[in-house]
Amino acid sequence: MLDFTWKIFKETGSVDTYLLFKEIQLDNQDPFESKDDELAEMNSTLS
C-alpha cells in the first residue's frame, strides 16, 4: 500500500496523496522504534 501511494504521489504531485503516504508510513512504524531513537539522541547529546 505504501509503494502504491508513493507511486500515485510521484505521478500526480497531489499534496493529499503525500499526506496519506505519511499517515500510512507513521501507522506502519513501530511505536517503540521512535522512542529508542529519541533516547539515543538524548544520550549522545549528554555525552
> Which residues does 24 contact at the CB level (< 8 Å), separation at least 6?
1, 2, 5
Q: Give pTM, 2 decimals.
A: 0.61
pLDDT tens profile 13-34: 999 999 999 999 999 887 666 6
pLDDT above 60 (res 8): yes
Q: What is the pLDDT of residue 22?
A: 95
Yes or no: say if 24 and 1 are a contact pair by the CB < 8 Å rule: yes
Q: What is the pLDDT of residue 9?
A: 96
d(CA 6, CA 28): 14
Q: What is the pLDDT of residue 33?
A: 62
